[in-house]
Chain A
Amino acid sequence: MRSILTIYRKELSDHFSSNKFLILLALIYIAGLSSTYVALSNIREAASSLDKHVFLYLFTTGGDVLPSFITFISFFVPIIGIIFGFDAINSERNSGNLSRVLSQPIYRDSLINGKFLAGITTLSIIIASIVFIISGIGLFSIGVPPTTEEILRIFFFIFLCVFYGGFWMGLSILFSITMEKTAASILTAIAIWIFLMFFLPIISNAIANSIVPLADDSTLTEIARNYSIENAISKISPATLFSESILVILMPVGGNLFSNSVAYLQSYDLLNSGEMILNPLTLGQSLIQVWPQLVVIVALAIICFAISYVIFMRQEIRST
């Protein structure tokens, strides 16, 4: 156990003193503070007077120029995960440290466990710190303290971010184990992220349109079927699952509609005409809504790390 702690402490101190940590922290803080400024400017228009969850609008309200904080987070969390994992093992191997460290009286898994835990801790600190800073600024600016439910929702949001980042970290650690060069491991991880984040929605849209083509005179059933197919395919991506989850968690009013495009489509006219008013979901209801997504994200993070672990344990350690 002491060996894991030793490696964990060393890795943590490496992360905190590294330039990549400072650059990522600065980027996240700039993005977070900018989106908070935009949210504070638009929060009056976004929140209705009856809304009980005004505080959460700090995270979900965007503007014309800058998107909301959760949009930034969806973008940055995978990057942080990848950055803190892509060179975990291959850099140790290339520098000649791997064989030296593993020739010490430690179990081999101590190394990968210590590194993963240190990466997750760093990610948690980055996410939690910016969320708490935004909350603090919001508290001063809007003068409305968060309710217990809002605080819990914020913690669930942080929890989701950490597991989502954990998935990307596990994936990039996997590449750092299987690939010799750090450049190859980071490029592969980024390529997968770009595919899942940007290309999968285009592909799922194309597939849905080829199965159920839409025209101006398409019926609501056809549109709904087209949306369902697109939605089902895009759910392959953890990015989609994460976006849907955080919307439901941080938008008790209507957030769940974004994860169900058919329901959204059906209620769109009614909502616009004011004939339908949405009630906020309780935290329990929100969690039931995102339970499948949440389980899949946590499972993906665990599976990725487990594969990395198994490969690393079976891998040949060369002397150079």
Chain B
Amino acid sequence: MNENSNLIISQNLSKKYNEHLAVDNLNISIKKGEIFGLLGPNGAGKSTIILMLLGLTEPTSGSISIGGYNSTKEPLKVKRITGYLPEKVGFYEDMSAMGNLAYTAELNNIPYREIPKKIDEVLEIVSLSKNKNQIVKTFSKGMKQRLGIADVLIKDPSLIIFDEPTEGLDVKVANQILQTILDLNREKGITFLLSSHQLNLIQRICTRVGILSRGKLINQGSVESLGRDLFGGGKYRIELELERVTDEIIEKLKKLDKVVSVNVSDKQLKIVCDKDIRQDISRLISNEGILMTRMDMKQDALEEIYLKYFKEE
């Protein structure tokens, strides 16, 4: 498999529960080494897709494969190369971190003599080496989440599916988890499929995002390209409020480098551009002797994209 080959391929994938269509004709491909974010409100079909990926539920029609293995027909091969961390990661609370990891290692057919070394290795990655013999019920949520990462790393996966990786974690711990994901992606080349509601976090680390609504993938791509699709090009949107607006100033603003469009509404101007040009705008307005009362800049934040898609749901 070369670097650019697809790790996950879903073709016309559908899942029906009685009359309810949970996943509707999903076509998606995720490349090896990507961090792909799956976004959508509750009931959009994210969990069903994950379950079908792991072979834990069968599609009604279509197919899905990971690393060339069909998830429905070869679930064991799929699960051998895929690590899954559910939103509510569960451990045997009365067992130590090492005990839990040893159990996972045995279920993955790792030779007994290699298990202790493997456990030390993965605990080192998530900085839990000192807590190796600690009972899991004494762990904080953040420690459990890190142990969850160690748990999926035991099998040296090509893909890690992470359901709400930072849900319920404080900012510091959430950042640590995201950094670990980035490190694993860069250093070990592990592909990640993240399902999350914490959009700003997804935005920070995902190379591509898929937006799901009522079982349908309504758009996919980088956050930037999704923004372009929705807001008509231009990565940045700068909003100004001026003391007075003249035709001359509008024309001059339009001529600034990287400006895509300028819209006027009363004393407010909305400038769409491909670069942060706030300094140029300030200088221009100041030179014209006009008083500027406000200036804000927005990138195509995933949250805005998300709200735009799901404002009716």
Q: Which A residues fall within an 8 A CB radius of B?
A: 2-3, 6-7, 10, 14, 17, 92, 95-107, 316-320
Contact = CB atoms under 8 A, between A and B. Distances in A.
Interface in B183-236: none
The interface centre, meaning the residue of A3, A105, A319 with most chain B CB atoms within 10 A of its CB, is A319
B270 interface: no
B76 to A, nearest CB: 5
A71 B80 CA distance: 51
B90 A2 contact: no
B86 A104 contact: no
B90 A100 contact: yes
A90 to B, nearest CB: 12
A316 to B, nearest CB: 6
Contact of B47 (A92, A95, A319): A319
A17 B96 CA distance: 14
B76 A107 contact: yes
Contacts of A95: 90-93
A317 B52 CA distance: 10
B79 interface: yes
Contacts of A107: 76
Interface of B: 47, 50-51, 54, 56-57, 76-77, 79-80, 82-94, 103-104, 106-109, 148, 151, 155, 163
B86 A99 contact: yes
A320 B57 contact: no
A318 B54 CA distance: 12
B288 to A, nearest CB: 57
Given A6-B103, A100-B151, A105 B79 contact: yes
Chain B at the A interface: mostly helix, strand, loop or mixed? Answer: mixed
Contacts of B57: 316-317
A98 B90 CA distance: 8
Given A105-B80, A319-B163, A97 B107 contact: no
A319 B86 contact: yes
Contact of B86 (A2, A3, A14, A100): A100
Given A7-B107, A17-B94, A102-B56, 19 more contacts: A2-B109, A3-B107, A92-B90, A95-B90, A95-B92, A97-B90, A97-B91, A98-B90, A100-B84, A103-B86, A104-B107, A104-B108, A105-B76, A105-B77, A105-B108, A106-B76, A316-B51, A317-B51, A319-B50
B107 A320 contact: no
11 contacts: A3-B107, A10-B103, A14-B92, A99-B90, A100-B84, A100-B86, A100-B89, A102-B56, A106-B76, A319-B86, A320-B88
A98 B51 CA distance: 13
Contacts of B51: 316-319
A79 to B, nearest CB: 23
B106 to A, nearest CB: 4
With a 10 A CB-CB cut-off, give which of A10, A92, A104, A316 has the most chain B CB atoms. A104
Nearest to A9: B106
A269 to B, nearest CB: 61
B222 to A, nearest CB: 26
Nearest to A316: B57
B157 to A, nearest CB: 10
